[in-house]
Structure 1
Amino acid sequence: MNRNKRNNSTIDSFSGNHASNLSVVVAVLTFRRPDDLIELIPKLLTHCVEAAVGYGMRQPTVLVVDNDPDGGARETATRFGSGITYVHEPTPGIAAARNRALAESADFDLLVFIDDDERPTSGWLTSLLATHLHTGADGVVGPVVSAFAAPLDPWIADGGFFDRRRLPTGTEVRVAATNNLLLDLRLVRSISLQFDENFSASGGSDSLFTRRYTGAGFTLVWCDEAVVTDVVPAERATRDWVIRRRYRIGNSWARTELALISGSTQTVRLRGALLLAGATRVAGGTARATLGVLGRSPRNRAHGIRIAARGAGIVAGAFGRTYLEYRRPIGV
């Protein structure tokens, strides 16, 4: 049950009839992807207009947070004129950029995150808002569907490396990424929640953030109609990249689990549980991959490797090791 449900007199709940009172900002964090911004920003502006018309609200603002130390996205973002707010966050790392989005949104009620390499589909923003308004949820999560710049390696497809969850609208979830997420900023501010910059180079700051959000008693629900498409470049659709990504996901998951507890006794117990969970995945995945080789089943081999890679990442995280997928070269 949501301990901090928004019937509290200090945090008013908005029904569909009061949507006009809401102020909304759509934040896109970017790092040296001008072509993506050129394609994405007009789509976001269209969605903002649709939301304003549909709900009789003030048009949502599009906030571009540029994490390039050189501020390279300024010209691209500002060419679109009104409706766009551009800010430069030179501190390296996605967590710093996410925190800048929070800071720049201090006067808004709702914040919607989307990635710069994603494209919102029809009805995306209005669907997020509708689910928030009609369910009374404290946040809304939407699905991400991958599209590929080149034909996908059948082995990667068989392994389900780009498969993501789909849930019925209204399903409550406890954790989410920020690639398609609506948050009630009034509640975020009420608990002074920030993204942990210790996770900037490794990933996982969004998972930790939303775990803390739901752990405080706030609800996140799924909206299956609010779809965004993730545009996957060819360099990310390789066997090496997807295996490393599964390892990183396991590593980040273990680290976020450890970050959520305190006390040496609890930490020791959790490390043991993570070691067991990770080792079980490594053993099970390796066995499935071996059976795939012996049985000439690419699907079983790929699935087994995916499971084992995630397990190996969990084991590494349990030992305190961090995989820095997003680490930048010095000066970048």
Structure 2
Amino acid sequence: MTVAVLTYLRNAYLAQLLPALIEQAGAVAGARVRILVVDNDPAGGAEQTAAGARPDGAGPEIVYVHEPEPGIVAGRNRALDESAHEHLLVFIDDDELPRPGWLAALLAARERHGCAAVTGPTPPVFETAPDPWVAACGVFDSWEAADGARVRSADTGNLLLDLGRVRALRLRFDPRYGLTGGEDSLFTRSLTLAGEEIRFAAGAVVDKRVPARRARREWVLRRAHRSGSTWARVRIDTAPRARAALRLGYAAKGLARAGRDGALALLARARGDVASRAAHEVSARGGLGMVVGALGGSVAEYGRPAGPGASGASGASGEGAS
């Protein structure tokens, strides 16, 4: 089994995550676990961090690979390639920390249900106290389900995959989503549409760190716009037929949502209701994103600055997984 960490310019986070993964691997009886670090930094800056994670040489094998092609899809597909001879692959993001029992809970759910994939909760941990608007917006909330419930799609920041079933379906992460995010939704939705199951393991919890630069209204609204775009794109790309009608339908739905929630946000602002204002502003911006995605456009959240030697806000993890 491989536990894969996609990383980009987050060596301090990675240095905290790797010891936690070593501990998780040691707590799983009878399983051979290796840790794979996929570094999307053009300069390969995470190599020393990965090499120093086992100073005494004890614990599971840690494999470092450098993936210079920009984008989260390149990193995820590299993890698939590096796990070609493995039966199971577990994804976790470099800005996350697993709680005790996380890996064991993923494995137990798979054993219990015989499913193709398992996911779990990803509650936020704010590095600075968010303002009331950000706290109420809902963008950072972990989605929840009953333990063992079937889910239609999942976030690859906390995901176990049965690689035998993935290979049988010839599934890969779609390069069209490399700089926009949403690749995990497309991948896992394709998995369930093919008849496979994803189960929710309530005990497989990873905490997702939210830095101060994300805990801002401007960032949240940009993310909502991008999420609306990829939401529409994923559903159109996985539709078996009548895609033209779907495009028109989602565009109309997005416009209606933007207008309705935009008006409700103004009313909430007038009466001083911060929570309602935040929810409606996020929904309105998501509606505008739906229009973009439905009409064939995309929102490149993870693009790097142009120019030699440039390093920006994107990579295998970038501003975080989608």
**Length-normalised TM-score, structure 1:** 0.89
Quick check: 1:67 aligned with 2:44?
no
Quick check: 1:29 aligned with 2:2?
no
Structural mapping, 1:1-332, within 5 Å: 24-51=1-28, 53=29, 56-58=30-32, 60-81=33-54, 82=57, 83-261=61-239, 266-330=242-306, 331=308, 332=311
The residue type paired with residue 230 of structure 2 is: S
CA contact (8 A) 2:88 2:160 kept: yes
Larger helix percent: 1
Gaps of 5+ in 1: 1-23
CA contact (8 A) 1:291 1:300 kept: no
The residue type paired with residue 104 of structure 1 is: E
Q: Deviations over 1:181-240 (max 9, x none)?
A: 000001111111100111011001111111111111110011111110011110010110
CA contact (8 A) 1:93 1:326 kept: yes
- CA positional deviation for 1:57: 2.4
Gaps of 5+ in 2: 312-322
CA contact (8 A) 2:132 2:275 kept: no
The residue type paired with residue 282 of structure 1 is: A
Partner of 1:3: none
CA contact (8 A) 2:136 2:275 kept: yes
Please give the secondary structure, in 2, of the residue aligned with 1:236. coil
**Length-normalised TM-score, structure 2:** 0.91
Please give the secondary structure, in 2, of the residue aligned with 1:122. coil
- CA positional deviation for 1:161: 2.5
Q: Deviations over 1:241-288 (max 9, x none)?
A: 01111111001111112222366xx12101011112212221221122
> 1 CA distance for matches of 2:260 and 2:153?
25
CA-atom RMSD, angstroms? 1.2
Aligned residues: 303
Please give the secondary structure, in 1, of the residue aligned with 2:213. helix
> 1 CA distance for matches of 2:153 and 2:247?
20
> 2 CA distance for matches of 1:143 and 1:118?
11
The residue type paired with residue 325 of structure 1 is: E
